[in-house]
């Protein structure tokens, strides 16, 4: 619960306070109103892009956007008769400078968030690894703004995937310790590509959230090779892995189930791919190779993308 509070405050409370500030504060000039509109608007847009909405509800970000539009309309009605600009004292200029500084920073964050939704290099088209539900990317994109995995070179385009329910939440409860309260736990995992199984690990325990095992990062996992591309499916459920090293698999073939093994705080699927020329030991695959962007159903997915 302690970890959830900063997320809740940053994702809902701060943007809600800015929306109320835009709505309730009377503007003496249209310039003053425009500055407040852009400060509130850019921050709400940033949070809409980078916030982990599946931890609360995917639907709430649309409520936030609607509230921003309503506040903009209502506040403009009071400001439309005001002059665009008027001479003011030193305190107004200090306020103006502070808002301009915030706007510049929030605008930069917006640019970085949109940049994270792009990729460079040759992408790999893969089949959806999960079926039968609505899935959302928790971490994904090409820079740390949306994807902390991008700090690790080979995992630049890694994806962490969750399932959400009708309420747009990834679990029944805020941070439940029971694994079966997470929507994705136990879902069948399908091979996204056709290739040869290079490594398959099973038997590691599913941990109780938020316990983690930093000594065995991927937990139960499967590596599949297709040409010079190696793809990993990690954090699988103990006892669920259906394939063995040397086995040939086809895209769409079941290979296991989503679990909570390894270095993970809650059930999810981790997937990423690297391009390596020549043979390599499976033990070194996490640290080697050039990152490969993944296209699921033809789309490059980033945080809050659904499929």
Q: Give the pLDDT confidence score for residue 4 in this predicted structure.
A: 66
Specify the pLDDT at position 305: 98
pLDDT score, position 27: 81
Q: Which CATH number fits domain 124-300: 2.70.70.10, 3.40.50.2000, 2.40.50.140, 2.40.128.640?
A: 2.70.70.10
CA distance 46 to 109: 7
pLDDT number for residue 26: 83
Which parts of the chain sit beneath pLDDT 70?
1-4, 86-88
User: 135 vs 148, 161, 164, 306, CA distance in Å?
Assistant: 19, 7, 6, 5
Residues of the chain with CATH 2.70.70.10: 124-300
The structure tokens listed for 98 are 């502070």
CB 11, CB 52: distance < 8 Å: yes
CB count, 10 Å around CB of 277?
8
Residue 87 has a pLDDT of 64
pLDDT at residue 79 in the model: 82
Report the percentage of the chain scoring pLDDT > 90: 85
CA torsion 169-173-177-182 (nearest 10°) is -30
- Per-residue model confidence (pLDDT) at position 3: 58
Give the predicted TM-score (pTM) of the model.
0.92
In this prediction, residue 156 carries a pLDDT of 97
What one-character DSSP code corresponds to residue 172?
S
Question: For residue 195, what is the enclosing H or E element?
Answer: strand 195-201
Round to whole Å and give the CA distance between 51 and 269: 19
């Amino acid at each position: 619960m302690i970890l959830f509070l900063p997320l809740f405050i940053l994702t809902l409370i701060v943007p809600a306070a800015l929306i109320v500030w835009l709505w309730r504060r009377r503007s003496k000039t249209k310039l003053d109103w425009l500055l407040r509109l852009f400060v509130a608007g850019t921050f709400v847009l940033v949070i809409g892009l980078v916030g982990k909405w599946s931890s609360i509800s995917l639907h709430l970000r649309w409520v936030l956007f609607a509230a921003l539009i309503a506040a903009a309309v209502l506040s403009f009605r009071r400001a439309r008769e005001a002059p665009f600009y008027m001479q003011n004292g030193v305190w107004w200029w200090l306020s103006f400078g502070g808002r301009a500084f915030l706007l510049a920073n929030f605008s930069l964050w917006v640019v970085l968030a949109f940049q994270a939704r792009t990729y460079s290099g040759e992408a790999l088209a893969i089949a959806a690894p999960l079926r039968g539900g609505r899935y959302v990317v928790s971490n994904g994109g090409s820079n740390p703004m949306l994807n902390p995995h991008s700090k690790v070179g080979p995992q630049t385009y890694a994806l962490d995937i969750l399932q959400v329910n009708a309420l747009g939440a990834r679990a029944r409860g805020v941070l439940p310790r029971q694994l079966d309260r997470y929507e994705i736990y136990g879902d069948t995992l399908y091979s996204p590509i056709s290739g040869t199984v290079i490594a398959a690990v099973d038997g590691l325990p599913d941990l109780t959230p938020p316990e983690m095992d930093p000594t065995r990062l991927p937990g139960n996992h499967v590596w599949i090779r297709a040409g010079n591309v190696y793809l990993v499916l990690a954090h699988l459920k103990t006892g669920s892995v259906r394939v063995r090293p040397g086995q040939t698999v086809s895209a769409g073939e079941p290979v296991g189930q989503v679990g909570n093994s390894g270095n993970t705080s809650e059930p999810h699927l981790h997937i990423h791919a690297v391009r390596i020329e020549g043979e390599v030991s499976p033990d070194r695959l996490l640290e080697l190779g050039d990152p490969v962007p993944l296209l699921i159903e033809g789309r490059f997915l980033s945080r809050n993308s659904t499929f």
